[in-house]
Amino acid sequence: MVVQMILEICCKKCSYKTIISLIITAIIIFVLTIQDSAELYIIKWNMTENISCHYSYEEDALPLVDRNFSPPPKSIFLHETSCRGGLGSRQACAVESAARAHPDWQVNMLFSGPVSNFVVKRSCLSKLLKYDNVKLMRIHLKDYAKGTPLESLVAASPYNKSAWRIEHTSDVLRYLTLYKYGGVYMDSDVVVVRSFNSLDNNWSARESVYAVDSGVMSFSRDSLGRKMASAAIEDFRKNYKPNVWGNNGPGVITRVVKQMCYKTKKKKWIHGCNGFKIYDPVVFYPVYYKKNRQYFEAGRNLTTSGKTYAHHIWNALTHKYSVPKTSPYAKLAMQFCPTVYEMYGDNFGV
C-alpha cells in the first residue's frame, strides 16, 4: 500500500531515483514504528541471593567499566547487584528521577552481572538511555577492586558466605566506587525530588537520631572527600562481617563519622564535624523505616517538607507491597519518573 501511494503521488513527475528513495525511506519509517510499538520486556522483582552472574562474561551488551572510565566530578552512582539481568520498575524509577533532577550531572547505573542485548533494547533500559546523562555499564568485581585496599577482600569473595549476598555486594561497591571516583552514591530504591546542587560537597544523612545511613551519601574529590573515602574503605576492610546485616553499609559510615568527630559532643556530632555534613532524616529519609507502609497506602497524603531531597522507599522491607495509584509512592513516581511509571502502569512497583 505504501509503495502504491508513493507511485500515485509521484505519477510521472518523479524520477526513478526519487521513487526508489521515497520507498526506502517509507520502509525504514515503517520498521522503526513497528519496533517502537512492540511490547516492552518487563522485569519483575524476584527475591534471590544468587550472585553467580557476577563471575560471568557472557551476554555482556553493556560497555565495561575499565581504567579508561573517567566520570565527571558531578556524578551519581547506583548499583544493580542481583542476577536478574536488568532493572525492575523501582530501580528504573530511581535512575530516571536522578537524571531528571540533575541534567548537568552524569547518572551511572553499574551492573555487577551481565545484561543481554535483548534486555537493553526491549526493557526499561531503552527508555533510560534516552536521557543523555544516563550511563549503563558493566563491572567485573575482582577487576574493579584491583589496585584498591579492598583488592584482597573482594578476591576472596567473602559475600558468598553472607546471608545477604546481594546487599553485601552492594555495600562493597558503594564504598569502592566513591573511593575510586568520588561523587554521590544512592540506593536504587530512592526517588529524587530535588537537585543535590545546593547541598554540601561531602555529606551523609541520619535515618534516626544517632544512626547515620549509607543509602545516599557524597564523598567528593576534594581533600575531605578523599579522607572520608579512604577512612570508609579501610573500616570496611577491617570490620567486614558477613553475618551482620547493617555492619557493612550504615555501620561503616557511622563508625567513620564517630571516629572523626570523637572530640565533638554527642548532641553536636549528629550534624557532622570538620566540614563533613550530616543531614537530618527529613532530607533523605522523611518516612522512618518502621513506618514504610505509609508510602503504599491508598489515598494517603504525605506531609512533605521543603527540606526533602529524596524519598527512600525501603525496598528490602517493602518489595512485596503493591503500589495503588493513589498511594504516595505512585504519586511520587508519576511526577519524578513519569516515563518509567507510564511504561509499567499497573505493574509498577511489583
Tens-digit pLDDT profile for residues 80-108: 998 889 999 999 999 999 999 999 999 99
Residue with the larger pLDDT of the pair 171 and 116: 116
When the pLDDT of each residue in the chain is averaged and rounded to a whole number, the result is 86
β-strand partners of 107: 76, 134
pLDDT band at residue 342 under the 50/70/90 scheme:
very high
Residue written as cell 505519477?
11
As given in the structure block, the three cell numbers for residue 162 are: 553472607
pLDDT of residue 46: 64
> CB within 8 A of 153, min separation 6: which ones?
145, 172, 236, 237, 240
For the chain, give every domain's residue range: 54-347
**Radius of gyration of the chain from Cα atoms?**
23
pLDDT band at residue 47 under the 50/70/90 scheme:
low
What architecture (CATH level 2) is domain 54-347? Alpha-Beta Complex (3.90)
Looking at 7-11, 84-88, 193-197, which range is the least confident one?
7-11
Question: How far apart are the C-alpha atoms of 106 and 15, rounded to whole Å?
Answer: 48
pLDDT band at residue 33 under the 50/70/90 scheme:
very low
pLDDT of residue 267: 64
Residue with the larger pLDDT of the pair 182 and 12: 182
* Residue 217 scores a pLDDT above 80: yes
Question: How far apart are the C-alpha atoms of 279 and 309, rounded to whole Å?
Answer: 11
Cβ-count burial 132-152 (b if 16+ within 10 Å, e if not): ebbbbbbbbbeebbeebbbbe
Question: How far apart are the C-alpha atoms of 205 and 288, rounded to whole Å?
Answer: 13
Task: Report the share of the chain in percent with pLDDT over 70.
Answer: 82
Residue with the larger pLDDT of the pair 341 and 83: 341
* Residue 190 scores a pLDDT above 70: yes
pLDDT band at residue 248 under the 50/70/90 scheme:
low
As given in the structure block, the three cell numbers for residue 195 are: 537537585
Three-state SS sequence of the chain: CHHHHHHHHHCCCCCHHHHHHHHHHHHHHHHHHHHHHCCCCCCCCCCCCCCHHHHCCCCCCCCECCCCCCCCCCEEEEEECCCCCCCCHHHHHHHHHHHHHCCCCEEEEEECCCCCHHHHHHCHHHHHCCCCCEEEEECCHHHHHCCCCCHHHHHCCHHHHCCCHHHHHHHHHHHHHHHHHCEEEECCCEEECCCHHHCCCCEEEECCCCCEEEEEEEECCCHHHHHHHHHHHHHHHHHCCCCCCCCCCHHHHHHHHHHHCCCCCHHHHCCEECCEEEECHHHHCCCCHHHHHHHHCCCCCCCCCCCCCEEECCHHHHCCCCCCCCCHHHHHHHHHCHHHHHHHHHHCCC
pLDDT of residue 263: 66
